[in-house]
Amino acid sequence: MTLEEIRGQENTMENADRVQSAGAALEELLVAAKKQDYLTVGVYESAKVMNVDPDSVAFCVLATDEEYECDIALQIHFTLIQAFCFDNDINVVRVNDIERLADLVSADDTGEPKDAHCILVTSPSASPWKDPALDKLSLFCEESRSVYDWVPTITLPER
């Protein structure tokens, strides 16, 4: 085994740990933001918030699974949301387990499940919200961008 092969294995393990840690941080962030009422859930609701008050958006989560991979309209919305986030320096991640994500942000008051394809973590401009999980995720996104992974995929921890 060559030195390059050994380093490659180490990097793969480090990357897996990094993604797992980011998944735990994302779960913490969503739970904390939900308690503070700092979540916007849904593609159209998120687009409205981004249009009205883009400075209030602190983080963006895009979620899909195999069932929605061929949904052209959803993919176009994702492209537009990503472009908006890049233009406004908002960190974006993808999650491939939409059911788990929907469980985290739960149903609305009517008991109907929410459209969890896009989730924004917002923060009031007057008193910015600080959360250690948000800092961890921001660092994760920055590190991912340094290796040209512009929208990293995060795996949420199993329940």
* Domain hosting residue 118, numbered range: 10-154
Taking only the tens of pLDDT, the chain with its 159 residues reads: 554 444 444 455 466 666 778 999 999 999 999 999 999 999 999 999 999 998 999 999 999 878 778 889 989 999 999 999 999 999 999 998 888 898 888 755 555 557 889 999 998 766 777 889 999 999 999 999 998 888 999 988 887
CATH number, position 119: 3.30.1330.30
Does the residue 5 lie in any domain? Answer: no
Tell me the pTM.
Answer: 0.83
Does the residue 159 lie in any domain? Answer: no
Kindly write down the DSSP assignment for every residue of the chain, as one continuous string: --HHHHHHHHHHHHHHHHHHHHHHHHHHHHHHHHHHT-EEESHHHHHHHHHH-GGGEEEEEEE--GGGTT-HHHHHHHHHHHHHHHHTT-EEEEES-HHHHHHHH---TTSPPP-TTEEEEE--SSS----HHHHHHHHHHHHHHHTT-SS-EE-PPP-
